[in-house]
Structure 1
Amino acid sequence: MKHSSLRRSGRCSFKTVVVLSILFLCLDPAKIFSGQIAVTDSAPALDAFPIANRSYKAHVGSHHLTGRVEEKIILFFTLDPPQVPQGFFLSVNLKQIKAPEKKMKKNPEILTGFPDTRLTFHDPGIYTYAVIVSMIAKSSCGGVNADTVFNGDIHIDVSE
């Protein structure tokens, strides 16, 4: 049966079906079958989230790197404390803020990751990147809890 026929029959709208489906995905199955209506018990306190109290910090191995054209340059990170909390992951973002003036043959290849990010340059020169490392947790119902654990610049000198 199409959703348009549901609306015409007066049973329920397509929007209602979608909203109810999302709610049922987020509800505890035991509560659904016991007839309870509450979506959750009580929300955990804000300080129950490891990143809420900003106790985690990431550090970069070096803010000044050197390398050669067509060779991988590895940017290393550490986390303090070193263990990523259960249910969290780290995301690394790089934004180029300075590059050589001349036209590049090809954009640098960047494979972001934690604890290492790999960069391959095809042109010599001095590059500067803004680096942001975030600690992220995603709930099963689409919410996101995130905090920046590193924010800084790195400079890379690439020679022939």
Structure 2
Amino acid sequence: MAAVAATFLAVSGQAGEQAFGPVTKLPMPRYVSIKAAEANARRGPSTEHRIDWVFQRRHLPVQITAEYGHWRRIRDQDGASGWVHYALLSGARFVTVTEDQAALRRGPADSAEVLARAELGVVARLGKCVPAWCEVKAGGYRGWIAKGEIWGVGAGEIRD
């Protein structure tokens, strides 16, 4: 099993060096979302492995931490991980609000007008990101939210 496990994740050798998946050659870890209404999280990368739980929330952001063939090991906001078939995942980016009553602002600044407040657990479509803020869309609202109040985007991630 140790020989197989070594192919799951390309590990960088230098500090600060980016790791890439051995199958997709995409950066690792990386954020994606659940595409399906239900996605089985398994103990290992095949249908022969036991299902540990079922994700039942479409667009839920998850982080890919390993790859093996058509399978991706994902981790959710709570740190739970499991193997999911790649067809159940999407590159569309969403985030989860991690603070209750998080302010959705007109611009990326604490001084910007508050347009709405998001409840803990709201899933929002991710747009642009600057160093400390991301633009999101949820429930008919579009605005900026502090990165510290969402999960599903890297702390240093910039998006145009």
TM-score normalised by length of structure 2? 0.21
Larger Rg: 1
Q: Which one scores higher on RCO, CA 8 angstroms, separation ≥ 6?
A: 1
TM-score normalised by length of structure 1? 0.21
Name the one with the larger helix percent. 1
